[in-house]
Amino acid sequence: MKTFSKTRRPGPPAPVSGTALGDSGLYALLFGQARDSIIVLELPSSGVPVIRDANPAALALHGYSMGELVGKPITVLGASPNRSRFPGRKSSGSTIFEVRQKRRDGTLLVTEVTARNVRQGAVLYGILIERDITRRTELEEEGRQVSARIMLAREAEKKRLAASLHDAIGAMQVGMSSALLLVEAEVRQGKKRRAYARIAEARGLLKKVTSDLKGACVESWPPGLSVSGLGSALHELLTRFSLRSGISVHEDKASYRESGTESPLDIIIYRLAQEALNNAEKHSGAGNLYFELGVDSGWLKLSVRDDGRGFDMGKTKNKKNSLGLKIMAEAAESAGGYFSFYSKPGDGTLVKAELPIPKGPGTLL
- DSSP letters of 174-218? HHHHHHHHHHHHHHHTT-HHHHHHHHHHHHHHHHHHHHHHHHHHH
Predicted confidence band at 310 (pLDDT cuts at 50, 70, 90)? confident
For residue 242, the model assigns a pLDDT of 92
Average pLDDT over residues 203-207: 78
Residue 143 has pLDDT above 60, yes or no: yes
What is the average pLDDT across 163-169?
70
Q: Is 6 exposed, middle or buried (0-12, 13-18, 19+ CB in 10 A)?
A: exposed
**Average pLDDT in the 143-153 region?**
70
Stretch 78-83: mean pLDDT, rounded?
54
Chain-centre distance for alpha carbon 325: 12
3-class SS string, 260-310: CCCCHHHHHHHHHHHHHHHHHHHHHCCCEEEEEEEEECCEEEEEEEECCCC
pLDDT in tens, 339-357: 998 988 988 999 999 988 8
CA separation for the pair 101, 58 (Å, rounded): 13
The answer on pLDDT for 20 being more than 50 is: no
The number of residues in the chain equals 365
Mean pLDDT, to the nearest integer, of 13-35? 63
Residue 158 scores a pLDDT above 70: no
* Amino acid of residue 43: L
Q: Are 294 and 234 in contact (CB under 8 A)?
A: no
Paired strand residues for 291: 251, 304
16 vs 291, higher pLDDT:
291
**Alpha-carbon distance 214 to 29, whole Å?**
73
Q: Is the pLDDT of residue 9 over 50?
A: no
Does the pTM surpass 0.85? The reply is no
Task: Check if CATH label 3.30.565.10 holds for domain 223-365.
Answer: yes
Cβ neighbourhood burial of 109 (10 Å; 0-12, 13-18, 19+) = buried
**Rounded (10°) CA dihedral 71, 72, 73, 79:** -130
| Cβ partners under 8 Å of residue 21, min gap 6 | 15, 27, 30
CATH superfamily of 2-132: PAS domain (3.30.450.20)
Range 299-321 average pLDDT: 78
